Chains A and B, each alone.
Chain A
Amino acid sequence: MRPNVLEASAPAAIKAPARTILTIAGLEKTFDDFTALHGIDLHVQDGEFLTIVGPSGSGKTTLIRLLVGMETPTSGSIWLRDQRIDELPPNKRPTCMVFQSLALFPHRTVGENIEFPLKIRGTPAAERKARALELLTLLRLPPDYYSKRIQQCSGGERQRVALARALAFDPEILFFDEPLSALDYRLRKTLEKELKDLHARTGKTFIYITHSLEEAMVMSDRIAIMRAGRFEQIATPDEIYARPVSRFVAGFMGEVNLFDVTADGTDMAGSGLVIRPGLAAETGLKGPGTLVVRPEAVRFLDFGEAADFQIQGVLHAEYALGSRLQYEIDLADDRKGTVEVLREQRITGKPGTDVRLGWDLSSCHLIKGA
């Protein structure tokens, strides 16, 4: 007879009501005459995977160093739940970070590295070892790695050791400072997925810093885009992809076509664009705006075929991207356009052929304002 046992784990859909774990209020940091952060605010939910994305010099590294306590803010405050932590030194904060360089201790074995935070707390040796072995299993490293030297581990293995060490600390929030940036493309892709999976299994709050929006898209619940010491947009990956708030955000992820448009009354106009009349009224645009058109939203128009937006160009080159093909189109005024289609939709034209591109309002995004 089959025993009547209830599954111990609750369904993933039932979650405790989201609570704020980290609050940043008016955080500002200046170095001599340079302001790295301009009084930023942020709330992070318990158990969230938040990624902060920005180009170098956008202040994201300064922000994370403030959050872990390696820098002190010029003004503003950082709160972990109800406790103010910006005045605490890093070793008194219940958070920890996975470094870009990983910062493993080269004179210690894998096991000693993982046990380090436990040793600091005075955990007995047997208990430490048991926890280290548990973490090795969690990160899919064989138990005999316990006594390996760091120098014997590959890049991906070191990554996992650094993660295990951070998890051994059992932080309230785990910070990541671009830990994957030094790895090769394929390993990075694998580890991105593993990290997302690890986040789901541990239920910890992850705050991740990267310059790659693509990386952020794969892993995050929410993405905060930074530019020159401020948040440009904080939203879900879908929202950022479909509705970027500015040209900066739109241009951040891969190739995108951007067109300046202006609206006067009911009609919209843009350089080189043929636009269906009445669109300004439909979109509610008054004055200038920017059209954001993803390469896969653009199609080649057959003779007589119509679209909300049309533009004339000359085929420049074709690039194979695996399952897709990418076309680069010369537009008027020395501008370039990018079109991506599935392989089956390859066009017959040779470089130099005149083409007409089109897309509809429903498949593009309009940023209002200059």
Chain B
Amino acid sequence: MDRLNARLGYLTALPITALLLLSFVAPLVVVAAFSIMPQKVFSLAHLPDFSAYGEILRQGYWRSLIWSLGMAIAATAILFVISWPLAFAMAKVYRRFTLVLTVGVVMTLFVSENIRLFGWVLTLMKGGLIEGYLRSWGFAGFDGLLYNVPVIVFGLVYVYFPFMLFPLAQGIAMVPDDAREAAVDLGASRWQLLREVELPLAAPGIVIGCLLCFVLSAGAIAESKLLGGQAVIVMGDEVETAFTYGQNWPLGAALAMVLIAIIGAVALFSVSRVDLDAMFGGRK
């Protein structure tokens, strides 16, 4: 019976396996293959070399990489700190209101990211909502709040907020109330409770939330383009430019591979450190 079940399991997994191989793995393989082609070719029928990777080092693309990763880390850290109290309240304090909040936050996802970012552009630009009103009320005019690094990080925080909030709330919901009460009963202060009990027991949610936000932010383009102008060039932007304007597919593919390798390593390392099964109700 078990063996039959196992065979049926493979059979039922076949369609999705085929789809994943075709739509997810195949493009990755193509990108990987292009990354080891000579510069500026448009077919895979060439002898492989690693000139594209050499180009990354020579042309200083690592600067974009540092900006992407740095801003992703900053955005993730900020998201964690500002989401924790709200996630805690959603999981442990609010009853009905949690649903209202959930619906409210999810609703923002119904509007395209670019349109929402344009909303911020109109709000923050010179002559926009903030600067324009302040000027009309008699304050001195200024250059607007766009086109700098902090505003890009703000954009990342704004866009990826739901991706931190919900996993975090799920993680905090896993912290048993009696364990929290027992810790306080045994003398733990609020801070010790957080460090010794809440953070470790909510770890699976924390890891998932941080991973989602970090990965999405590291590959994000729209925030730096729309809010940041050309203040800094991020990695995703460089990849896009190499494939389109630069007409250098091997370079774009190599840049993409570097980003994928770094993000993949971070993801694998973090996921291996926590028990995700506990969160999804698998192994007890």
Contact A105/B187 with A116-B196, A120-B192 known, Cβ cut-off 8 Å: no
Asked whether A120 lies within 8 Å of B179 as measured between CB atoms, the reply is no
Least CB distance, A173 to chain B, in whole angstroms: 12
**Pick from A90, A104, A105, A121: contact of B185, CB under 8 Å:** A90
Residue B178 at the A interface, CB < 8 A? yes
Asked whether B185 lies within 8 Å of A91 as measured between CB atoms, the reply is yes
How would residues 190 to 211 of chain B score, 1 for a CB under 8 Å from any chain A CB and 0 otherwise? Answer: 0010001100110000000000
Considering the complex of A and B, which 8 residue pairs feature the smallest CB-CB distances, nearest first?
A103-B182, A103-B178, A117-B186, A120-B187, A91-B184, A101-B178, A107-B200, A90-B185
- Since A106-B176, A169-B186 are in contact, a sample of 12 more A-B pairs with Cβ atoms closer than 8 Å, ordered by chain A residue number, is A70-B181, A90-B184, A91-B186, A97-B185, A99-B181, A99-B182, A101-B178, A105-B183, A116-B186, A116-B196, A119-B196, A120-B192
CA of A107 to CA of B180, assembled, Å: 13
A169 / chain B contacts, CB cutoff of 8 Å: 186-187
Query: For residue A89, which residue of chain B has the nearest CB?
Result: B184
Asked whether A107 lies within 8 Å of B201 as measured between CB atoms, the reply is yes
How would residues 73 to 96 of chain A score, 1 for a CB under 8 Å from any chain B CB and 0 otherwise? Answer: 000000000000000011100001
Query: For residue B186, which residue of chain A has the nearest CB?
Result: A117
How would residues 26 to 68 of chain B score, 1 for a CB under 8 Å from any chain A CB and 0 otherwise? Answer: 0000000000000000000000000000000000000000000
Residue B189 at the A interface, CB < 8 A? yes
Contact A96/B185 with A103-B179, A116-B196 known, Cβ cut-off 8 Å: yes
Residue A68 at the B interface, CB < 8 A? yes
Residue A165 at the B interface, CB < 8 A? yes
B263 / chain A contacts, CB cutoff of 8 Å: none
Least CB distance, B204 to chain A, in whole angstroms: 11
Asked whether B178 lies within 8 Å of A105 as measured between CB atoms, the reply is no
Which residues of chain B have a CB within 8 Å of any CB of chain A? 176, 178-179, 181-189, 192, 196-197, 200-201
B186 / chain A contacts, CB cutoff of 8 Å: 91, 96, 116-117, 120, 165-166, 169
A116 / chain B contacts, CB cutoff of 8 Å: 183, 186, 196
Asked whether A91 lies within 8 Å of B187 as measured between CB atoms, the reply is yes
CA of A90 to CA of B178, assembled, Å: 13
Query: For residue A105, which residue of chain B has the nearest CB?
Result: B179
CA of A105 to CA of B193, assembled, Å: 12
Contact A103/B200 with A120-B187, A169-B186 known, Cβ cut-off 8 Å: no
A 263-306 contacts with B by CB, 8 A: none
A104 / chain B contacts, CB cutoff of 8 Å: 179, 182
Asked whether B201 lies within 8 Å of A68 as measured between CB atoms, the reply is no
Query: For residue A70, which residue of chain B has the nearest CB?
Result: B181
Asked whether B197 lies within 8 Å of A120 as measured between CB atoms, the reply is no
Contact A91/B178 with A105-B197, A106-B201, A116-B196 known, Cβ cut-off 8 Å: no
CA of A82 to CA of B186, assembled, Å: 22
Asked whether A106 lies within 8 Å of B179 as measured between CB atoms, the reply is yes
Least CB distance, A112 to chain B, in whole angstroms: 10
CA of A107 to CA of B179, assembled, Å: 11
Query: For residue A68, which residue of chain B has the nearest CB?
Result: B185
B176 / chain A contacts, CB cutoff of 8 Å: 101, 103, 106
CA of A104 to CA of B188, assembled, Å: 14
Asked whether B188 lies within 8 Å of A120 as measured between CB atoms, the reply is yes
**What are 6 A-to-B residue pairs whose CB atoms are below 8 Å?**
A91-B187, A97-B182, A103-B182, A105-B179, A106-B201, A121-B187
Least CB distance, B176 to chain A, in whole angstroms: 7
A107 / chain B contacts, CB cutoff of 8 Å: 200-201
Query: For residue B182, which residue of chain A has the nearest CB?
Result: A103
A 106-144 contacts with B by CB, 8 A: 106-107, 116-117, 119-121
B188 / chain A contacts, CB cutoff of 8 Å: 91, 120
CA of A160 to CA of B271, assembled, Å: 34
Query: For residue A151, which residue of chain B has the nearest CB?
Result: B284
B181 / chain A contacts, CB cutoff of 8 Å: 70, 90, 99, 103
B192 / chain A contacts, CB cutoff of 8 Å: 120
Query: For residue B178, which residue of chain A has the nearest CB?
Result: A103
Query: For residue A107, which residue of chain B has the nearest CB?
Result: B200
CA of A103 to CA of B196, assembled, Å: 14
Asked whether B179 lies within 8 Å of A117 as measured between CB atoms, the reply is no
Least CB distance, B172 to chain A, in whole angstroms: 14
Asked whether A99 lies within 8 Å of B178 as measured between CB atoms, the reply is yes
Least CB distance, B136 to chain A, in whole angstroms: 51
B187 / chain A contacts, CB cutoff of 8 Å: 91, 117, 120-121, 169
A90 / chain B contacts, CB cutoff of 8 Å: 181, 184-185
CA of A64 to CA of B186, assembled, Å: 15
Q: Which of A70, A116, A169 has most B Cβ within 10 Å?
A: A116
B184 / chain A contacts, CB cutoff of 8 Å: 89-91
Least CB distance, B2 to chain A, in whole angstroms: 25
A105 / chain B contacts, CB cutoff of 8 Å: 179, 182-183, 196-197, 201
Query: For residue B197, which residue of chain A has the nearest CB?
Result: A105
Query: For residue B176, which residue of chain A has the nearest CB?
Result: A103
B197 / chain A contacts, CB cutoff of 8 Å: 105
Least CB distance, B70 to chain A, in whole angstroms: 32
CA of A69 to CA of B183, assembled, Å: 13
CA of A165 to CA of B186, assembled, Å: 9
Query: For residue B174, which residue of chain A has the nearest CB?
Result: A106
CA of A106 to CA of B200, assembled, Å: 10
CA of A69 to CA of B201, assembled, Å: 24
Least CB distance, A270 to chain B, in whole angstroms: 49
Least CB distance, A319 to chain B, in whole angstroms: 39
CA of A116 to CA of B195, assembled, Å: 12
